[in-house]
Structure 1
Amino acid sequence: MPWTKSDYPDAFKNLNEYVRLKAIDIANAMVVDGYEEGRAIPIAINQAKEWYKDASNKEKSELKSKDITDHEKTENSSSDLADEDVIVEYSDNDKKWRVITKGAKRADSLHDTKESARKRAAEIIKYRDAEVIVKNKNGSIK
């Protein structure tokens, strides 16, 4: 059962109204995509706080009128990729090192140095049952 504007986890209680609504919206979407509630809640709070920093008045207004309980499972959701290995590889197109989860459509991030990309990959797998695969510039696995 999805959380609502009046029925939500205690962790959302002390958030400002917009952050709380966005956190409920994000957490509901994550649960539909297969995340466990305990994992979705802290992620949703952090993402909602980030969203709030840059949200326009229009976005805040739209959020107030949005049905935050209505979500459909997305294809290749993050939970489907949660335990996949993370690859560090050089992108000739971007001329940077990219960090991408195996099976993902988009890179997590791009980095000027291989070491920076490795650090980001290590952060990603910290709470996963996955490994970092580091490739050389030519694509061979190190």
Structure 2
Amino acid sequence: MPWNMNDYPASMKNLEKVTRKKAIDIGNALLADGYPEDRAIPIAISQAEKWHEDAPDKEIQQEKQAKNPQKEDKHETNPNTKKLINANVLVKYQEDQWIVISEGAKQASERLAKKSEAIERGKRIAENKQSKLKVYKRDGTLQETLDYTTDK
């Protein structure tokens, strides 16, 4: 069920208002793409918090002034989402940086200078997706696989 600023998951209650607004919008987009609520909520919160940390002040001000998300808002859906929802998360070295990417995705979700930062980010994503994290060495060989799948 989509959310708005008056009706949202309890776990978003303590977020700063602009971060909650972003989390609701991200969460609604994930729901539109077929994510179940129990997976969309932690992903949306994590992504909104990361956005708030990294966004320039101007972008945060624009978000504060933007229209509040509504339950009936339309979101573009990605036909590959169903495949990527359960895809493993990879940490690989590419073009002089460490990337975090879902297996089968065309584009990295993160590009970081340090492998340790990429692994930490990959762990959070894999935990949220309840998938595996595959960490590769700089030479492209598999270093380790961390399993965050659960038997539900």
The verdict on a shared fold, with TM-score over 0.5 as the criterion, is: yes
Note if 1:72 corresponds to 2:73: no
Q: Using a 3 Å threshold, how does the CA distance of structure 1 residues 21 and 107 change in structure 2: closer, same or farther?
A: closer
Note if 1:83 corresponds to 2:86: yes
Q: Residue 64 of structure 2: which of 60, 63, 78 is its match?
A: 60
Q: Residue 132 of structure 1: which of 98, 114, 134 is its match?
A: 134
Paired position in structure 2 for 1:20: 20
Mapped partners of 2:11, 2:120: distance in 1: 30
Mapped partners of 1:14, 1:69: distance in 2: 24
Q: Using a 3 Å threshold, how does the CA distance of structure 1 residues 47 and 68 change in structure 2: closer, same or farther?
A: farther
Question: Scaled by the length of structure 1, what TM-score is found?
Answer: 0.66
Consecutive unaligned residues in structure 2, runs of 5 or more: 144-152
User: Does structure 2 conserve the Cα–Cα contact (< 8 Å) formed by 1:24 and 1:68?
Assistant: no
Aligned-residue Cα RMSD (Å) equals 3.3
Where 1:100 maps in the other structure, the secondary structure is strand
TM-superposed deviation, 1:106: 1.0
TM-superposed deviation, 1:37: 0.8
Where 1:35 maps in the other structure, the secondary structure is coil
Question: Scaled by the length of structure 2, what TM-score is found?
Answer: 0.63
- Structure with the higher strand share, 1 or 2: 2
Paired position in structure 2 for 1:103: 104
Q: Using a 3 Å threshold, how does the CA distance of structure 1 residues 69 and 47 change in structure 2: closer, same or farther?
A: farther
Q: Using a 3 Å threshold, how does the CA distance of structure 1 residues 108 and 47 change in structure 2: closer, same or farther?
A: closer
The one-character-per-residue Cα deviations of 1:77-122 (angstroms, maximum 9, x if unpaired) are: 3x5313323444443xx13444432210112344567677566555
The one-character-per-residue Cα deviations of 1:2-25 (angstroms, maximum 9, x if unpaired) are: 222322222233433322222221
Q: % of aligned pairs identical?
A: 39
Mapped partners of 2:121, 2:23: distance in 1: 24
TM-superposed deviation, 1:61: 0.5
The one-character-per-residue Cα deviations of 1:5-57 (angstroms, maximum 9, x if unpaired) are: 32222223343332222222111111111211122222222322333443432
Paired residue type of 2:96? K
Consecutive unaligned residues in structure 1, runs of 5 or more: none
User: Over alpha carbons, which structure has the higher Rg?
Assistant: 1
